[in-house]
Structure 1
């Protein structure tokens, strides 16, 4: 009996201990979670387009201003107008001044903290005030920046703080391509203790990375803004993709008052999962700053364990495996959403680029948003991270751009980009300029290049530096000594010049920084082992750099609405590792017009001579028209298209690709009849109620048998009901001047899209209607 009672008592004590331990753990977790507080400042801004004297003052009345969330690009709202001062470069969309005001409160306990505001990007010439105090100006709209708010804040009940931002891109033309306008990237408030990790001050490198072992070096800057010196410990834990701690380390140092100290640690990870293009494995470093047993600051940094290098004879190596960088250049706009791009837009674009075979991205010609690089890390793209399109010399259609600010700002902007971006495993090379028009003489002109390279190396010596040279045989950079001193020689176009330069200087490391879609430029990469890679101009059609009535540059693999273009189909056959077959034909009779991927001519009566090409990486391709073979053609040694000239017949055209006699791929098109209905398909049917998540819903006009009517241009009207809304509409037509923020769009080649986002949990029903046709309906789900 006593044994049973004692057992009960012991059991009760044990449970009490367990409960106490759990409560302590929960308490410590709660405390830990609040050590470094990061608060989104995206919601509930007041906005006014135009200049407003006195809008920077705390007591200014903004109740009549528009309420919105950022990221926000007011320029994409239009309207298109040939007389807009942005002109050709900015795509004829508006420019001017935009004001943003946000009111917020802080608890009295927050008075013990340090607070800074982080902007991922404001376009452009931003001025920022807090409670009427001017904090600073930042001309470059692509750079992330922050301001310390601590001394100017009010705390406690009833005490309001007012953050004000003025964005001014009145001076035009400011760019050769569309920039956008306003607070077009995310904003956050960071709150820390007086002793804390500096912003972007923790740098993680992996000097040794093999499948057997990886060395992770962590350098963390700690600043003590208090008036008391003390000993602090930096404790680092490496977590794998399952959240399991695979290695930990701690370092203790004294941090003097008012000083900054670097903590340096090496952690050995056994049998790491390496980050590469095929398997982009990621780890997290949880870095805590402790005073005794108390955590006073913390940060979690995602990184990859990898090594990369460029070799003069064999090109690019990642983890001692030789790769060709099959890259694309991307501008920062997302088409219909402008410069304020939800991450899901990039996710869909990256998915399609991956399908083509793309493994590299050049951020042309400016820093991208941080989450863009996060996505490159997760999806396995190597990145050329680029700073500027201009130095001091101007460029046509962008004469009043960054060249006005370069001398004063280049060093700080370069430094901030490198500090912010250097922990991304996707980045393998930096570029400090695109087709720079400043004199590139040697040694005088080279000095400006070297100064920028030195700034990068000061903060990240692990990656090489290049620039995109323009017409090098004209600028003489190959003969005057300039290129000789570049770590990697990058050149835009004129591949034969780069090949000749390397073969005359075989110790040079070379890469194509900008290339077109034609066959001989692909062969320059395919056939030359020393050519590290190339970046096609471009991955996607982009706003601007177009002559009215065009508004969009159409050199992309895909158009604004995610539609495959002819060059994407051909590139797919060159770059994909899977069997590929694509059929295209000339749109007009007897080989005239554009290449299109359908079997429905605009005029059946006048179309009788069809020039057909098939893009394929298969050993042989056989073409059939209405079941009749049109012949078999082997794979050309130079990867060129296989061609047929055939008499057009309405019906079905089919191409079959074979390897070693076995069918491995095929494609077919059928001739469409009269439009009958609308078919809706979505890039995703489940959405999060989050600014960064959207679904692309494509409306396709089809005939009674579901065959796309590629010549249809009907007006498609969208209506949405339930827990979502339409963010934008588009059709990919570079000649269209229709507004993107609308609920209708003219079909282009039989298609249009609605970009749908959630606004609360629940179901969203989207309906697409065309007069006289059966409507299309689709339902999406929105979760928290």
Structure 2
């Protein structure tokens, strides 16, 4: 039966009748087209491509992208799904595109991908964290329906970075086509995709800058043109620059000829006066429009956002941007969500970046792999400097693995080189025993792909790279890296977690004598209570203050969000927000380190005060207030207990804004209020009330700068809090909460779910239609909460 089926399929291919199961007409336009909808999915089947394309007995699930092959439990416990899955989509191409160039651009698919079109293997790609391009020009049909099948395997593979098996890995690589897919329809004479061609320091559009100042700047635009035509072509490149809707300047290159079936780089330069420079404090973006002109007509066009800036990094002067010194105050981020793994919408990635900026950081290290374009786009927009990184963690494989890692270095630079936020290239396999030859080669690859000055590689070993980026725990207490005096600039890439987990840190260990092993660590879930959350915040304060005493150009705490890791059966809980993006006390410590007004975006760097105490425990009378104000006054039940300046203890000596510590003599239920003052004027306040008996449920959702959007697999966190009659959250509540929903949306996650520290969280995924939906959260003995959500 199988042989007969194969024979019939081969005959169908020969007469141009290859088809997937359903018939429909697609509408694509010249240029870039979203290819995220209309897919089908199946996993754990034993079949060949021909049968998958034609068999009517296979039950495909209808899905859209981004997508994960498996909805995982909240805590994966070392048993993440790994295997082979398939994505299928049938599509039609209009006859007027018969002579066009067509290609698919996959932003990310985990992790070995085979791409078949109409039964033919066109591409096999190794690696789940970087994009790849598939030219389908010579294989696609404009006369019949086409069948695209992507076979994915995410099993352990020592040849594909990070290479280490999940069950011994400190993070999880997930599954699926978890980022966007695009269909490009172009003229045979077109601007190449960065991954369509394999050109060192070329492919696509490459933007660099020179002579940057507040008075003037030069913008160099290198355009890699590809001529797939059988005839030579004459072209001009027109480059237009806009700031918002305001046209700035246009430059057109001299006409030049491109040979048939060849490529050529065309260079343009724009020189502008009084540029608005990009920086973390003022992330001003320009739009660059690049047009290919042939025979007087624009045959191709590409637009991209750019930021004009200059920067330099030296051991003596530290980090300077646009001539001004800036201390890098950073964090690390894994791109994981609960349940769906890496399958985040563009909006969800933006919201993660928004929270990083909201937390007071001006820098993020991508740990330990390249992350989505939407996340780095958000860093461009919000003003967050980025250290890009190749996939790697405590694994150094054979020659083939190393070759693939060097390819990742080159791909990383090509895809992210135009982002103004990206300033450092971590071309190092994190905490891996790399050879000198590999480090030299990976460092060189970055500089080959991004030639010129002020390009910086980094590595965790002090060899070959432009920056040395150890973790704090890679040195010994109490000095750690504060006596490092070499000529290589130093950045502390991780701190605040392992040194406390291993209990070899801290300058005053006697103060920790009354703490258990679990209490003194920075790995604290919100459920563990306020004393342990306060200890986590103190650990970060102590270690960050320590880092500031040395010559490091900056540091990045470990880390922003709690996450799953393969080698253990619990969450890594050293995040300053939990896996649901709810803040711990340490979040407010970092938020307080941002100077008032340091960001031109009004959502950030505002006057703030935050109380790190639930005011519900008579034994916990230490009231820590985090604030970026000059003075803080504390009130207990509307009575002032004093106004004071910031702390001056050993853990506050180098902080931009030390905390304010108040020690109460007694506990009187009611409320505490902190008021922050600048120049004697009240500018911020925070109130914490003693929670009463649980009465009802209060609902809200996290938008973080982006409304919930229909039609793109967007999702947000919805929170249900157990509150008293005054709306105060009970941080000890663990009630079971049941969510229900009406409308075009989907709930993802455990349901019902027990509250953690008074809050139960679920993911809300928008459907295809705009409009309103209603969410209800209920629990036995409590008044239900309802919430209306508007989906745009």
More displaced stretch, 502-511 vs 101-110: 502-511
In structure 1, what is the equivalent of residue 757 of structure 2? 749
Conserved in 1, the CA contact under 8 Å of 2:220 and 2:269?
yes
Identify the residue that residue 489 of structure 2 maps to in structure 1.
509
Tell me how far apart the structure 2 counterparts of residues 514 and 405 of structure 1 sit (CA, whole Å): 29
SS at structure 1 position matched to 2:93: coil
Q: CA–CA distance in 2 between the matches of 1:495 and 1:647? A: 43
Decide whether aligned partners of structure 1 residues 326 and 501 sit closer, same or farther in structure 2, where only a CA change above 3 A counts: closer
Q: Helix, strand or coil: the match of 2:494?
A: strand
**5 Å matches for 1:10-89?**
36-55=30-49, 58-61=53-56, 64-78=59-73, 82=77, 87=78
Partners in 2 of 1:62 and 1:523 — Cα distance? Answer: 63
Instruction: Give the match for residue 184 of structure 1.
Output: 178
Q: Which has the higher strand share?
A: 1
Instruction: Name the structure 1 match of 2:544.
Output: 522
Please give the secondary structure, in 1, of the residue aligned with 2:211: strand
Q: Please state whether the residue corresponding to 1:345 is helix, strand or coil.
A: helix
Q: Which digits, 9 at most, give the CA deviation of each residue in 1:473-514, with x for residues without a partner?
A: xxxx4xxxx2xx431222211487798878664532221112
**Structure 2 residue 95 is the aligned partner of structure 1 residue 95:** no
Is 1:117–1:146's contact at 8 Å kept on the other side of the alignment? yes
> How far apart, in 2, do the equivalents of 1:546 and 1:633 lie?
47
* 2:439 paired residue number: 449
Whether contact under 8 Å (1:311, 1:509) holds in the other structure is: yes
Residues 1:688 and 2:709 aligned together: yes
Q: 1:464 and 2:467 equivalent?
A: no
Native 8 Å contact 1:390 1:433 kept in 2: no
Q: Do 1:491 and 1:512's aligned partners in 2 also have CA atoms closer than 8 Å? A: yes
**CA separation of 1:508 and 1:80: change in aligned 2, threshold 3 A:** closer
Conserved 8 A contact 1:251-1:265:
no
Residue 538 of structure 1 corresponds to: 559
- Name the residue aligned to 1:615: 626
Structure 2 distance, partners of 1:110, 1:295, is 17
Q: Offset of 1:555 from its aligned partner?
A: 1.0
Partner Cα distance (1:709, 1:546) in 2: 34
Residue equivalent to 2:154: 169
Shift, 1:531, TM fit:
2.4
Cα deviation code 1:104-147 (max 9, x no counterpart): 11122222012111111111122221111112322311111111
> C-alpha separation between the residues in 2 aligned to 1:661 and 1:223?
64
Per the TM alignment, residue 319 of structure 1 is displaced from its structure 2 partner at its CA by: 1.1
RMSD: 2.7
Where in structure 2 are the equivalents of 1:217-296 lying within 5 Å?
Answer: 217-296=220-299
Contact (CA 8 Å) 1:330, 1:538: kept in 2 or not? yes
Equivalence for 2:690: 671
1:626 offset after TM fit, Å?
Answer: 2.8
Q: Is the 8 A contact 1:129 1:163 kept in 2?
A: yes
Deviation, structure 1 residue 153: 1.6
TM alignment of 1:84-483, pairs within 5 A: 87=78, 92-156=79-143, 159-171=144-156, 172-173=165-166, 175-200=169-194, 201=203, 202-390=205-393, 393=396, 406-439=401-434, 445-462=435-452, 463-469=454-460, 477=462, 482=463
Relative to structure 1, the CA distance from residue 97 to residue 641 in structure 2 (aligned partners, 3 Å threshold; closer, same or farther) is farther
Aligned equivalents of 1:388, 1:676: Cα separation in 2 = 48
Partner Cα separation in structure 2 for residue 620 and residue 765 of structure 1: 43
Please give the secondary structure, in 1, of the residue aligned with 2:348. helix
Query: Cα distance 1:347–1:646, how it changes in 2: closer, same or farther (>3 A)?
Result: farther
1:40–1:188 Cα contact (<8 Å) kept: yes
- Report 1:697-776 matches (<5 A): 697-722=718-743, 724-728=744-748, 740=749, 742-756=750-764, 757-776=766-785
Following the alignment from structure 1 to structure 2, what is the Cα–Cα distance between the partners of residues 656 and 141? 49
Tell me the SS of whatever aligns to 2:49: coil
Q: Quick check: which has more Rg, 1 or 2? A: 1
Q: Give the direction of change, closer, same or farther, for the CA distance of 1:434–1:572 in structure 2 (3 Å limit).
A: farther
* CA deviations over 1:406-448 (Å, ceiling 9, x no partner): 2341232222221111111110111112433225xxxxx3221
How far apart in 2 are the matches of 1:245 and 1:613? 50
SS in 1 for 2:166: coil
**Matches of 1:263 and 1:491 in 2, distance apart?**
40
Q: Deviations over 1:130-185 (max 9, x none)?
A: 111112322311111111112222222xx121111121123342742022111111
Q: 1:434 to 1:277 in 2, by over 3 A?
A: same
User: Once the 2 structures are TM-superposed, how far is the Cα of residue 405 of structure 1 from its aligned partner?
Assistant: 5.3
Structure 2 Cα separation of the partners of residues 446 and 327 of structure 1:
28
Look up the SS of the partner of 1:458 in the other structure. helix
What is the CA-CA distance between 1:624 and the residue it aligns to?
3.3
Secondary structure of the corresponding residue to residue 574 of structure 1: coil
3-state SS, counterpart of residue 779 of structure 1: strand
Change (3 A) 1:72 1:670: same
C-alpha contact 1:344 1:692 (8 A) present in aligned 2: no
**Cα distance change on mapping 1:656 and 1:243 into 2, 3 Å:** closer
- Alpha-carbon distance in structure 1 between the residues aligned to 2:714 and 2:206: 30
Distance (Å, rounded) in 1 between the aligned partners of 2:244 and 2:547:
35
Q: What secondary structure, in the 3-state scheme, does the structure 1 residue paired with 2:708 have? A: strand
Within the candidate set 769, 779, 783, 2:788 is matched to 779
Q: Provide the rounded CA distance (Å) in 1 between the counterparts of 2:306 and 2:747.
A: 33
Aligned length: 683
State the secondary structure of the residue aligned to 2:492: strand
User: In the aligned structure 2, how far is the partner of 1:35 from the partner of 1:251?
Assistant: 29
Q: What do residues 639-692 of structure 1 show as CA deviations (whole Å, max 9, x unaligned)?
A: 365252533232212333444554443322111111111112233495332316
CA distance in 2, matches of 1:745, 1:676: 18
Query: 1:520-559, CA deviations, whole angstroms, 9 ceiling, x for partnerless residues?
Result: 432245444x4221111111112225732x2x21111111
- The structure-2 alpha-carbon separation of the partners of 1:693 and 1:628, relative to structure 1 and needing over 3 Å to count, comes to same
* Per-residue deviation, residues 193-217 of structure 1 (Å, max 9, x unmatched): 2111111221011223222212110
* Cα offset, 1:770, TM superposition: 1.8
Q: Determine the C-alpha separation between the residues in 1 that align with 2:480 and 2:718.
A: 48
Question: Does the 8 Å contact 1:711/1:749 carry over to 2?
Answer: yes
Cα deviation digits, residues 40-59 of structure 1 (max 9, x gap): 22112111120322135543
CA distance in 1, matches of 2:215, 2:291: 27
Structure 1 pair 567–80 and aligned structure 2 pair: CA distance change class (3 A): closer
Q: Alpha-carbon deviations, 1:693-737, whole Å to 9, x = none? A: 444332211111211122222222222222x31343xxxxxxxxx
Pair 122,207 (structure 1): closer, same or farther in 2 beyond 3 Å: same
State which drifts further: 536-545 or 421-430: 536-545
Per-residue CA distance 1:273-292 (angstroms, 9 max, x = gap)? 11111221111111111212
TM-score normalized by structure 2?
Answer: 0.81
TM-fit CA distance, 1:362: 0.8
146-155 vs 621-630, which moves further: 621-630
C-alpha distance in 1, partners of 2:707/2:664? 45
- Provide the secondary structure at the position in 1 that maps to 2:254: strand
Moved more, 355-364 or 453-462: 453-462
Q: Which consecutive unaligned segments of at least 5 residues does structure 2 have?
A: 1-26, 157-164, 195-202, 497-538, 597-605
